[in-house]
Amino acid sequence: METIDKIKQQIAENSILLYMKGSPKLPSCGFSSQASQALMQCGQEFAYVDILQNPDIRAELPAYAEWPTFPQLWVGGELVGGCDIIMEMFQKGELQALINEEAAKAE
């Protein structure tokens, strides 16, 4: 499977998806740690892809997403953004609303 097809499939199959370095329990960078902590505090399940274990995705996703850095949060098939945007939305209460709304759709 082509890497771009794999990325599209992951985004389609997971309504809340975080591309990050490491895992939510063992993040491998500070930005991924902050992003996954904010998501966990929203209280809904989310999927993640460790880009350090998937160098093909790490190489291809920035061009596909038109977003150069990681982590990347995808909700409902749309790119939300990276760490700064995630944290800003979390502090305003917008992230929780978005995540809860998307989780309710998936039920």
pLDDT digits (tens, 9 = 90+) for 22-52: 999 999 999 999 999 999 999 999 999 999 9
Contact 67, 51 (CB under 8 A): no
Task: For residue 64, give the CATH number of its domain.
Answer: 3.40.30.10
The pLDDT assigned to 107 comes to 76
- Give the pLDDT band (50/70/90) at residue 74: very high
d(CA 82, CA 67): 8
The average pLDDT across 72-82 equals 98
The pLDDT assigned to 1 comes to 79
- Domain that residue 72 falls in: 3-106
Average pLDDT along the chain: 97
Number of domains in the chain: 1
The pLDDT assigned to 70 comes to 97
